[in-house]
Structure formats: C-alpha cells, structure tokens
C-alpha cells in the first residue's frame, strides 16, 4: 500500500517522514521511534490517505478509546457498545490500571473487528446512531468494494506489562487469521512504546520510511536513543526556522506600520476635525490592517 506522506503538516519547519511516499506491507507493522518522533502523526497521515483512497480504515487511539475514563461513563449510563457489556465490566475497567484498561478495551472492541473485516465499517455506537437519522450508513455498506482493510493503533502498549502486550498481540494475530479466511489484504499498523511489541516483528522506522528488524533489546535500545538524537537535531532546526519566520513577520509588520502612519497622516489632512465620525471610522479601518496582520502571524512576538 503506497502512502503519500505529509509535508510539514504543522507548519513548523519539519516533516516527520523523510520520503514523500512510503510502501507499507500487509500484516503487522510496528512503528518505532522515541516519544515525539512522529508515530502518531504518521498514523493520522495514513488514516487521511486511506480516506482519500477509499480504503476502509479504523483508528484506535489510546487517548480516545483506551483509558477507563473513556468507557466507564458509557457503560454505567446504559450506552452499551456490545451485548457483553455489563456493570461488572464497567467496574473492572474503572478499577484497572492504565495498561489493564487498554487491554480490556481492546478486547472489548474485538467483537467489532470481525464485522469490520466483513463490511468495511466499524459498527460501534456512533455508527449505529448515524443510522437512526439517515440512510447514509446503509448506502455506504453497498459502496465498499475494496478488499483492503487497515487497522491503526496508537499507543496501544502504553503502560502494559509484558504478558498484557502478548495478549494484545494475540488479538492482532486473530484479526490477521480471520482476514486470511476472508481473502482480504489487511494492514495492522501500531505505534510501539515498548520493546515487547516490536520483538520479532516487522518494524518501521518512521523517520527514514523503511522497514527494519531488531535482533534483541540492546539493538532496539540503541535505535530509540538514535531517534532521540534525530529529534533533538530536528528541534534545533525548527528553532532556527521559526526564528527566521518571526524575523520576516516582524519586518513585514514594521513595513505595514509605516504605511498605516502615512495613511492616517493623509486622512488627517482630508478631515481636520479628528472628532468627526468619518475620521474616527476611517482611522479605525486603517488600524484594523495591523490587527489583521498580527492575527495572521504565527511566530512573531509584538511589543505594541
């Protein structure tokens, strides 16, 4: 699956992935890199490209789907996602650690994974609610002909113990097994924080945009420290880039301020009475140009 990568997505002077396009392999791909290296950004990049290519894609985000605070309210409020949801599950999630809550929620979602493989739709509560108010979901069911399926997992191993990571990986392997039975081309792309998730898997260096393998933990450790150095070097380049941007914005502001002063001077000649309504309105209109310019600037710090 060829994915076009974002170029400077945050207008901050850097692109997380160097190549302009990357080639992702079917099966399990583990994104590796230090915190802040761009793993989550690449997942969002892939999600957008899948939408453009009309490839069914589901993103599981730890901040949205993983923690106990995200699922407890819906369970206790009666908004049950699946038939197996009950108060005992709600209390298990509520009393769980971050890692345990992630594991429970991934397992809880597993009842929908098989349906996603078959239909191309992740038929959760939001999907079912949309069907109450429109027929768009039914229409979309008929339109999906692509045999590819994409699962994205962001920070799914955050806070997980080794045994829990193994359990999560078993769920992912079940997805791939079901996919094979349905003759689908399935991609599972997951961002790793721990070595256990990357162990013996096809890993993907997001900065270089290429697949790599780790022989052992020490090799993985050295790689993560290397990506940290890359990030620190990138931050220095960003600082220089943003300083240059700020200087240009300030120079543009000073130039505009000269023009504004000149316009106000000419306005004073045309309307000597500075208390007149016309003079005040025209002056305010001219000064608004400075405000608009300031609002458009992202990096400069203005004294006035």
What confidence score (pLDDT) does residue 75 get? Answer: 47
Q: What is the pLDDT of residues 84-132, one digit of tens each?
A: 555 555 555 555 555 555 656 666 667 788 888 888 887 766 666 666 6
List, as one string, the DSSP characters of 161-181. -HHHHHHHHHHHHHHHHHHHH
pLDDT of residue 42: 95
Task: Please tell me the pTM assigned to this model.
Answer: 0.77
- Residue 108 inside a domain? The answer is yes
pLDDT at 119: 84
pLDDT attached to residue 145: 80
pLDDT of residue 90: 54
Task: Tell me, yes or no, whether 155 and 9 share the same domain.
Answer: yes
Judgement on whether residues 276 and 154 belong to the same structural domain of the protein: no
Last residue of a domain, one of 214, 232, 265: 214
| SS3 label, residue 57 | strand
Cβ neighbours, 10 Å, residue 119: 14
Q: Is residue 257 part of a domain?
A: yes
Q: Is residue 185 situated within a structural domain?
A: yes
User: What pLDDT, in 10s, does the model give residues 9-45?
Assistant: 888 888 889 999 999 999 999 999 999 899 999 999 9
What confidence score (pLDDT) does residue 136 get? 56
User: Is residue 141 domain-shared with residue 288, that is, in the same domain?
Assistant: no
Cβ proximity of 140 and 121 under 8 Å: yes
Please answer whether residues 115 and 151 qualify as being in contact, where contact means their C-beta atoms are separated by less than 8 angstroms.
no
My answer on whether 88 and 188 are in the same domain is: yes
226 within a domain of the structure (yes/no)? no
In this structure, the answer to whether residues 84 and 173 fall within a common structural domain is yes
Q: What is the DSSP string of the chain?
A: -EEEPPSSTTSSS--SSSSSEEEPPSEEEEEE--TTSSHHHHHHHHHHHHHHHT--EEEEEIIIIISHHHHHHHHHTT--SSTT--HHHHHHHHTS-HHHHHHHHHHHHHHHHHHHHHHS---SHHHHHHHHH-SHHHHHHHH----EEEEEEESTTTT--HHHHHHHHHHHHHHHHHHHHTT-EEEEEEE-SSHHHHTTSEEEETTTTEEE--SSHHHHHHHHHHHHHHHHHHHHHHHHHHHHHHHHHHHHHHHHHHHHHHHHHHHHHH---TTSHHHHHHHHHHHHHHHHHHHH-SS-----
Residue 205 has a pLDDT of: 95
Indicate if 200 and 286 belong to the same structural domain: no
Does 200 reside within a domain? yes
219 within some domain: no
7/151 same-domain check: yes
- Shared domain for 274 and 197, answered yes or no, is no
Query: Which residues of the chain fall below pLDDT 70?
Result: 62-109, 124-143
Could you tell me the CATH number of the domain that includes residue 34? Answer: 3.40.50
Note whether 43 and 184 are same-domain residues.
yes
Considering the domain architecture, whether residues 129 and 259 belong to the same structural domain is answered as no
- Residue 138 in any domain: the answer is yes
- Indicate whether 118 belongs to any domain: yes
One domain, residues 12 and 111: yes
DSSP 59: E
What range does the domain containing 276 cover? 242-296
Total domains in the fold of the chain: 2
């Amino acid at each position: 699956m060829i994915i076009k990568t974002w170029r400077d997505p945050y207008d901050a002077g850097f692109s997380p992935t160097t190549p302009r396009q990357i080639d992702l392999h079917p099966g399990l791909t583990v994104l590796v890199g230090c915190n802040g290296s761009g793993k989550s950004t690449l997942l969002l990049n892939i999600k957008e490209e899948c939408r453009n290519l009309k490839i069914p894609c589901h993103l599981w985000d730890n901040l949205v789907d993983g923690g106990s605070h995200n699922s407890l309210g819906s369970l206790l409020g009666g908004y049950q996602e699946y038939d197996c949801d009950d108060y005992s599950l709600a209390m298990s999630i509520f009393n769980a650690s971050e890692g345990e809550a992630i594991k429970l929620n991934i397992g809880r979602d597993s009842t929908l994974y098989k349906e996603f493989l078959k239909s191309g739709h992740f038929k959760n509560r939001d999907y079912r609610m949309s069907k109450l108010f429109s027929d768009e979901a039914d229409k979309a069911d008929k339109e999906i002909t692509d045999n590819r399926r994409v699962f994205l997992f962001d920070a799914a191993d955050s806070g997980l113990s080794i045994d829990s990571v193994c359990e999560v990986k078993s769920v992912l392997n079940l997805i791939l097994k079901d996919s094979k039975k349905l003759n689908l081309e399935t991609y599972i792309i997951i961002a790793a924080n721990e070595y256990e998730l990357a162990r013996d898997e096809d890993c993907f260096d997001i900065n270089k945009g290429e697949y790599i393998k780790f022989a052992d933990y020490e090799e993985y450790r050295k790689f993560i420290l290397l990506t940290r150095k890359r990030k620190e070097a990138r931050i220095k380049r960003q600082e220089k880039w943003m300083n240059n941007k700020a200087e240009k914005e300030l120079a543009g502001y000073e130039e505009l301020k000269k023009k504004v002063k000149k316009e106000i001077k000419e306005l004073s000649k045309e309307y000597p009475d500075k208390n007149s309504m016309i003079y005040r309105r025209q002056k305010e209109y001219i000064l608004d140009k400075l405000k608009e310019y300031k609002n458009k600037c992202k990096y400069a710090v203005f004294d006035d």
